[in-house]
Every structure is written in structure tokens, then in C-alpha cells.
Chain A
Amino acid sequence: MSKELALSLLRKALNNPSAEFRDGQWEAIEKLTVYKQKLLVIERTGWGKSSVYFISTKILRDQGKGMSIIISPLLALMRNQVDAAERLGIRAATINSTNVQEWDSVKTAILRDEVDTLLISPERLSNEKFIEQVLYPIAQRVGLFVVDEAHCISDWGHDFRPDYRRIVGILKVMPDGMPVLGTTATANNRVVADIQDQLGGISIIRGTLTRESLKLQNITLPDQASRLAWLKENIPHMEGSGIVYVLTKRDARIVTNWLNDCGIDAAAYYSGVEDENFDDSNSYRQFLEDSLYNNELKVLVASTALGMGYDKPDLSFVVHFQAPGSIISYYQQVGRAGRAISDAYGILLFGKEDADVHEYFREGAFPPEEIVNDILKALEDYDGLSVPKLEEVLNLKRGLIDKTLKYLSVEEPSPIAKVDSQWKRTAITYAMDTDKILRLTFQRQEEWESVKEYIETKDCLMNFLQEELDDEITGPCGRCANCLKTEILSSQVQHRNILEASIYLKHSEFDIEPRKQIPSGTLPNYGWRTGNLPPDLQAEIGKVLSRWGDAGWGKIVADDKHAGYFRDELVDAMAEMIIQRWKPLPFPECITCIPSLRHPDLVPDFAKRLAKKLEIPFYPIIVKVVNTQAQKEQENSFHQCHNLDGAFEINGTVENKPLFLIDDAVDSRWTFTIASVLLKKAGSGPVYPVALTSTSVSD
């Protein structure tokens, strides 16, 4: 393959007869297609990494090699990539969780050699079944293996992911002569060295990262309300479309609703985000990505789920609602702005509570050692267990079990292996690498410290980022707030807007989704059929007023619960939520509540006052007949449901009318579920669960 021929392919791909290779592009293509080497390319977004793998794919296919596999967090090729691939005659296909129904046809097409490039999302690789049943059968002939966002391979990387451990394992044992391309836009020297060290014999191509149109500024604001107010005042003044990055899914929803209330066209984007008009989360996410790409949305309020691989040339602002965890992830996110336009904003808002969120993330990054030991012991004692059986045997949160199994399953060698549906303890002597965990936790702490330094520095902001990324520095950027020695956007917010945002935050109620399944073996006393709960026994979608300890009502609910009396202000707030915003239909005609033997008056008293306010009767018809263990000590569905077996009875007349079912706090929703079934079986109309606060930490 000559450079000329490759160049003609480039021109064809870009539809530009005078295009030339950027520095490093031809070298990369040559290493892959002629020398069949392993290669890591560190270049900024927009450098043309996709040109490298498309042209390489084309050349390798012409040599008679198999398709290329691209592991990428992107759900689909970006529009411009699709165009480039089509112009080269490359037939692309995607396999991810959104298109399960297409897997078979994709598989068939691959086996007929009708696919040239296959896009697979990294989290698929942590799914044992997917590898065995989908990926493996089509892996017979693969000509090129591409790993996008390759910095995730390194646990020195700012966002090391377990899914990528699997990829490292695969790359480590890849036989010589298989071309491998890793690409990233953000890797400092330490990450590059670590990747080299882990994979061995990988060559590096590295370019510069600077974004010449970015105007950087940091703004410290005391609380969430002032930051919301800042968004309201400033976003309309920024031209074009942009991204507001938040740290949690919940923040994404809160910020999005606020912006919408303020008349700003915004949508929330995070993994698992759903919309009733879309079949599943991924198709909705793709729709959102496209909407932003086409400037049909002003703002996408996104968690870190958006960013990797997302390439919008005219993105005009990136605002961080909270400070990110590290400079590298900050650069990765802010670096998406201003690729092909002359002016773009990179604004970092910072508040005190950001530190707490990052501390929480750091602490939850690895499963605790005692949990690891408990799970391994159980697998040893029972000679293997399925996940539901683990839940039964160990009273541990499902999420924690899943997380721990995932962590252990990518250890190398791994103390566990999945044989059929069971996890088995392998014959590996295993001890958790606590030194490494300490090192990584310490490293994350250091990364957070340097974010704080970035917020406080008086020097050129772009230079600060470049230094962290080991990028070549040629002098101050001359465009950031520090270089200009003046604010680019005002850090002042109007008191009126802060007030409005505080009220909004107090209205951050959300839905209580009814449970639809009962785990087997949990309710022998009730003797109900387990498995799918028939719709006529399910509760309606309910509402919860606040989140435990939250800035809105959550703090007040928490204080009052400890004091043993919910103040009237909460009755008013709840009534206002029900009447003015929720408006359930058919509107309930009476109220009942969940009884408690520990606090016999707390909830009934509140329910009584709420009933009075809503002018409907209160009937305390549910009684607690068994003194159960505290529900909050039950860590997973099996135990949460099982703990309530036979706990409640109906004592009184149940009318066939819609009713409110009140409790102070909701977490796993099992109490509501069991009580609703009892009410429905006793002849009740629709049951609407309502709670003052949610203690669930699931999002």
C-alpha cells in the first residue's frame, strides 16, 4: 500500500480532492496496515482518528482481511463518520444494548462477510453472555481492533472503568500480527507510560491538544440556587448550543427542569435516561445527541456519559454546574467546545458541596474488603451461587453485589468465574490489592486537589490544563479570564433569581414507580403468587416530596423525623404538590397510611392533617401485626420483601375508591408494594403512594 493510494482514500473519505494527511495520520495507517502493529494515538478531537481507522479498514479489507471492530462508548457513528465510511464503501454495523433484535441479522451479515466495520460499546464486553454468544462467534476473522478512548485502559486514567479491564486482558494476550489501534484525546505522560507498560510493544503517535478558540473562566458560587440562577442569567446570552455538565443523574433532571421553567430549551442526558416517545434509553440518547448536533437544542444537561467520542464542531459552550473530579476529565469535557468556531466558552462553576460529592465517589469506587471476603466465602461454602441466591444468602444490596462481582471478575487472575448462571470460586489464591486501592484513592484525591488549584490559580488557565496533560506550552493563551484580568461572564447573580431557584429546589418532587415483580420464596406467610405482579394488584405511580437531607424540603423532613413531629409547613407543601402540580386522576377520595410499631403516631398524625387539608377522610385501615426488623437494614429485594411477609393486615372497610397511601420515607418501595396488594385484594380502587422523602441512594 502506497501513501498515494492512502491519500486518495483520504480525499475520497473527506470528499475533498485537495485534502492532505495531518501529521501522524499516514504513519498510523502504515503501522497498522503494512506492519500490523499495536499503536496508541493521542490526538485532539477532530484530528481525524476516524479517518485513520476507516482508511486502514479499507486497506486491510482489500488485503483480504476480516472486518474491523471498534470498541467505542459512542452509540453510533457520528453523522460525519457515517458519511466518510459510506464514501469509502465501508459497510458499518452496530451491536449494542439498543438493537438486540438486530443482533441476529448483523451476525448473519458478518458471517457472510458483508460488514466491514463493527461498532461495539465497551460495557458489552463485561457481559459474559454477550462475549460467548454474540462476539465470539463473529470474531473468527477480525482484521483490525480499535479501542476508542483508550485512556480508560489505564487505571492511572481519570476515569478508569472495569469494562476496560476486560479490553486490557484481551489486548495483553492478542497474538502478534494483529493490528491494534488505541485512540484518545486525553492522556498525560503517566497514562501513556502505563498503557505502554501494560500492553507492551505498543508504538505511540502524539500531537498537541490546545484549543485556540476556548475562553476559560472559573466562578465560585455559594450554593445550588445561585448556580441555577447563574445559568438562567447567562445561558441565553451565549450564542449557539452547548453542554452543561453535572455530576449525578438527579442533578441532570433538576437542572434540566429548571432551565425549561426558565424558558431555555434543555434536555437531560445520562446513561439510562428515558423518554416515553422512545423505545429505549439508547435510542433516546442518540436522538438527544443528534438534536444537540443540529442545534435543535440550546443545552444538553449531561452527566459524564456524554463526552467520550462526541464530536460537534460548533459546540459553543461547556459549563460545569459542579467541578469535575480531575483536570484531565475537565479538559476532556471542556475540550469538546470550539473546535470549528472562533469563540467558545469553558466555564467552571464551583461550590462547596462539590467536594462532598467527589469524596462520596472516591469512597464508593471500590467494593469494601469485607464485602469481597463475604461474597468469596459464600461462593466457596455453596460451591457456586447465582446472583439472586447470593442476595438470599447475603443480606447485601444488589448493586453492591453486582459491583463487587464485576470488580472481581475483571481481576487478573480472577477469584471468580461464571459457569452457566452461577458464579464459582476459581482455584486462584486471592487477596484484594489494598495497596493499589489506596494508591488509586490517594491519586484521585490528588487529582481533586489540582482541580481546586485550577479554580484558584491566577495564572493562565489554558496553560494550567496543558501542564496537567503534559502538552507543549507555547505561552499564555491570552483569552482566559486570568490572561484578560477581567471576567468574561459576570460572576454576579441577581437575588431575585436566587430566590426563585430556592423555591424551585423545594419543588423537586419525583415519581415513585410501582414494583411489578415479587422475588420467589419471599412471601410464604401471605402465600401470594410470586413472579410478575398482576396489573390489578399494582400501585399507581406515586410521588415523593423530597430527598432525604436535601437542600429543598429534605433537610426539614429529616430534622422533623428526628424530633418526632412533621411541621404544618410540610402538610402545606405536600398538599400544594398534590393539588397544584401532581393532580392525580382519578383524584383519591380518602387517605390511609403505613402503620409503624416504633413510631405509632408520627405518620398517622401527619396523614390526618393532610386529609383535613385536602378535605377527604382519613381511614387508618392498615395495621401492623408483626414486629419486623427495620426495613432499612434489609439490603436487597429478597430481604426487603421477605422481611414484610405477613407484617400487615387490613382491619376495616375498604371502599372501591381511589386512595392515597401515605408514608414518611420511601426507599425500596416494598412497603408500598405489599400494602397496595393488601388494599387491592380487599377491594380498593387505585392506590397512590405518597411519601415525604426518599432515602434511596440509587440515583
Chain B
Amino acid sequence: MISERTKAILLLTSYLSKELDRETKPLNIREWNEVVRWMQAEKLTPEGLLTGNLEVTLSTWQETKFSKQRIIDLLDRKMALALKLEKWIKAGVWVINRSDPEYPESIKNALSSKVPPILFGIGDINLLSKDYIGIVGSRNIDEEDVLATGGIVNQIYSQEFGVVSGGAKGVDEHSMSGILDRGGFALGVLADSLIKKSTDGIYRKSIQDNKLVLISPFNPEAGFNVGNAMGRNKLIYILSKATIVVRSETKGGTWSGAEENLKEKYVPLWVNEPKDLKSAKGNVEIVKKGGKWLPSTFEISDLIKVIPKDKEHQVSLFDGFSEPNRATFNQVSEPKVAYEPLKKSMNSPSNSDIIDFKNASFYDFFIYKISEKIGNQAFTKEQIMADFDLSSKQLDEWLKIGVETKVLVKNSKPVSYQYKP
């Protein structure tokens, strides 16, 4: 089942066909974020744009950004989208948008305003929430690299992690099929041909056995394209707890992906150390830039804890389309609002009238909204999940903190909560 919200976002942001999309270009992430801000201000939802009189709805759209007509034309692609979706779904494709609970939190946290609006996937969606070590490397590898990859995969497998990689030839393919052959699990982040790759003998069976999930932020039928491949690389890092470079040149996809990770500090980066360092210039350079040589035997717990993040977590655009207080949302929609992850903000506002929008965290808003909307009445998680349009996982965390910090009281049988500052 693909939600109407996902369909609306697909209409606005997805490339469906080369010929046609040239005339009416789908929105890029930046443009889409503009629309999101506008929708939040207008208390609109993406799915709400599908029905009703668009001309009227769009009367508050500021043409300076891009034309109203472009939005209308994109949304008029309903028939074209239905033809594509029918084909994709038959091939086993699922589609989620960034407000869906299955959408990986790690991507939202790491990419701030550049979170891909849509993810396509084939295979068990629950595999997205497992723990992975990334393995990346060149398409052209020699026997030594194959052995090294095998050794790495063995250790990952025995420590019950999965492998996330890019599904390309060479290191990608060896690392993924390696762990799958051992009975482990893997996540493939593809830059092209999602459907076609899922039918390949090496992947098909593992997908059927719920051991492999392939995902892509691009149209499942998209062909290879360098830009997409580059855009995909960061997702491998982000979806891993740590990533290992098996073999890199000093240019190309593996190289620039590693560089980007070192710069953005997504995850710890480890580099395979070949015997002959002279012929492994890329590997050496990456270590010079901040990667670490991978010990021949390793504990994953050591691999993943190395980097202390000096960079603050940034929050992605908040994809909730509930009925927000306009003032609140004008604030939180600013992409650079600091996301103080919960602990600092435990001294929640006891007086709901006093809230410092500039410095408040999302959790603060959450408590504020409960005090505003529900007051001291008991409420259930399901109730506010619908009202606030938050994911179940997010609510669990905040409710837990609320109870722990004694801002909320938890009643049992049946479970409900109450705001008691």
C-alpha cells in the first residue's frame, strides 16, 4: 500500500520519464523544502494537494520561488504515476516518504535539509532498522582485495552485523554476496536499476529469504548516472555504524565518498591496509585525510565508537503535517534549528505560556503542545500520534523522557499519559 502522501510527494519530486520531465521539471530537494514550508504555514498536507481546487489552494503560493503552474502540472501527472506505480509494485517495490516511520532516522539526522523525500526499496523493509557496517571500494579489484573483503565480511558476520554497500560490481558485490552466502543480512543502496538488480541471481534469492533489502532514492527504473551514484555514496556511510574502504583510487566514486564522509563526519571510517602500499595510493591518502587503518582482526564495538562528533546533530525538515501553531512552525521549519537531543531540555517549560522559541528543542515543543492542546486530561499515545502526526518511535522516546523527568505521569491498564508539571 502506497500512501496518498507518498503519491503526492512522488508527483512533485520524482522523475518519471526523461522526455516529459524536461518540460515540467520535478522539484529538487531545495524546492520541495520550499513547498513543505509553505504547506506547514498554510496548514496543508501533501495529500491535500491531490484533491480540491488547486487554484484556490495555491493562491498563497509565492510565485517568486517557482511558478504555481509548475506545481499544478506536476500534480497532473496522476495517470503517468499510476502506470509507473502499477509496474513497480508488481516487481515488489515499496515506496516510503520521509514522514513514514520506516524512513531511517540516521538519514534524517545526518542530512538535515537534504534528506531525500522518497525512498524506493525491494525486500524486507524491517531490515532497514538493523545495524550495518559499510563496505565500499573500487569496481576493479584483485585477488588480494577479494580475500580482504572476505576476511572483513567474516568478522562482521560473526559479530552479527550486516553489510551495507552499493550493489555495484567489485567490492560492493563481493561484500554483499559474501555476507549473504554466509547466511547474514545486507542492505544495498543503489544508484540505478533497482528493479533490474533485484532480479539478478545473486540478489534475488536473498531478497526472497528476507536477508537482503535494496533501496534507492531514485526511480526504480533509472539507468546509471554519475551524479546519482555520487549522491548515493553518502547514504551508504550514513546507514552504517562505521564504513570500511577496501580499495580506493585517488579519484572516482569511492574516493569522493570517503572524502565527503571525512568532511561531514557521518561515521568512523576505516581503511583496509594492502600489503603493497605503493600500489594503494588511494587507501594511503584516505588515511592521511583522517581515515584509520583497519586492524586485521577487529571488534565492531571498537570500530563504531571512535569518532566523537564535534558537529551538532541537525534536524531534517520536520515532515509532520499536523495542525501546527503557525508561529511554532515558522520557527522549527528553519533548517538550522539546533536539535538538542533531549537531554539538555529536560527542564521543560512548566508554564506553557513561557516558551523561548529561539532556544527551545523539539521535545520542548512537544511538551508545550501537550500542555496547550490537552492540558491535564489523560491521553493515549495513539491519540496524539494521529493528532501530532509523529512516528510511534519518536513518541515512545519523548513520552519516556517525559515520564522520567516527571513532566508526564504514566497510568497503566489501559496505558495513558497525563501532563502534570
Contacts and interface: CB of A to CB of B under 8 A. Distances in A.
Contacts of B87: 131
Chain B contact-residue range equals 35 or more
A176 interface: yes
Contacts of A428: 91-92, 208
Contacts of A413: 89-92
A575 interface: no
Interface in A169-202: 169-178
A353 interface: no
Interface string B198-210: 1111011001100
Nearest to B52: A177
B47 to A, nearest CB: 7
A427 B17 contact: no
A429 interface: yes
B198 A426 contact: yes
Given A413-B90, A414-B90, A170 B83 contact: yes
A472 B214 CA distance: 54
A425 interface: yes
Chain A contact-residue range equals 35 or more
A426 B204 contact: yes
Interface string A154-171: 000000000000100111
B89 A170 contact: no
A432 to B, nearest CB: 16
Contacts of A172: 86
B195 A169 contact: no
B229 interface: no
* Interface SS, B side: helix
B89 A419 contact: no
Contact of A175 (B11, B20, B24): B11
A110 to B, nearest CB: 12
Interface stretch (B73-81, B291-299, B352-360): B73-81
A487 interface: no
Contact of A136 (B8, B17, B75, B208): B17
A427 B78 contact: no
B92 A419 contact: no
Interface in A406-424: 409-414, 417, 419, 424
A380 B199 CA distance: 9
A298 B63 CA distance: 65
B203 A136 contact: no
A145 interface: yes
A115 to B, nearest CB: 14
B19 A427 contact: no
A174 B82 contact: yes
Given A36-B51, A429-B208, A176 B20 contact: no
B197 to A, nearest CB: 9
B196 interface: yes
Nearest to B206: A427
Interface string A131-142: 100011101111
A383 B201 contact: yes
Contacts of B91: 413-414, 417, 426, 428
Contact of A176 (B47, B86, B207): B47
B196 A137 contact: no
A169 B78 contact: no
Contacts of B50: 175-177
B199 A384 contact: yes
B385 interface: no
Contact of B90 (A142, A169, A174): A169
A175 B4 contact: yes
A427 B199 contact: yes
Contact of A145 (B79, B85, B90, B201): B79
A137 B198 CA distance: 26
A122 interface: no
Given A173-B86, A426-B204, A417 B195 contact: yes
Given A413-B90, A426-B199, A174 B78 contact: yes
B85 A173 contact: yes
B186 interface: no
Given A137-B17, A173-B2, A426-B199, A142 B78 contact: yes
B34 to A, nearest CB: 21
A66 interface: yes
Interface in B5-21: 7-8, 11, 17, 19-20
A69 interface: yes
Nearest to A66: B76
Contact of B79 (A178, A419, A425): A178
Contacts of A410: 90
Max chain B Cβ within 10 angstroms of own Cβ: one of A66, A171, A175, A419: A175
B19 A137 contact: yes
B199 A424 contact: yes
B190 interface: no
A427 B204 contact: yes
Contacts of A417: 90-91, 195, 199
A139 B196 CA distance: 24
Given A137-B20, A383-B201, A173 B92 contact: no
Given A414-B90, A426-B91, A173 B199 contact: no
A131 B92 contact: no
Contact of B81 (A175, A414, A427): A175
Nearest to A37: B51
B212 to A, nearest CB: 8
B20 A140 contact: yes
Nearest to B8: A175
B20 to A, nearest CB: 5
B26 interface: no
A616 to B, nearest CB: 60
Contacts of B123: 427
Contacts of B17: 136-137
B127 to A, nearest CB: 13
Max chain B Cβ within 10 angstroms of own Cβ: one of A131, A137, A176: A176
Contacts of B407: none
Contacts of B201: 380, 383
B315 interface: no
B397 to A, nearest CB: 32
B122 interface: yes
A145 B86 CA distance: 15
Given A136-B17, A383-B201, A426-B198, A173 B90 contact: no
Contact of B83 (A131, A141, A380, A414): A131
Interface of A: 36, 65-66, 69, 131, 135-137, 139-142, 145, 166, 169-178, 380, 383-384, 409-414, 417, 419, 424-429
9 contacts: A66-B76, A69-B79, A137-B20, A173-B7, A174-B78, A380-B201, A410-B90, A427-B122, A427-B203
Closest 4 CB pairs of A and B: A427-B207, A142-B79, A424-B199, A173-B85
Interface of B: 2, 4, 7-8, 11, 17, 19-20, 24, 47, 50-52, 73, 75-87, 89-92, 122-123, 195-196, 198-201, 203-204, 207-208
Given A140-B24, A175-B78, A424-B196, 7 more contacts: A177-B52, A412-B89, A413-B91, A417-B91, A427-B92, A427-B199, A428-B208
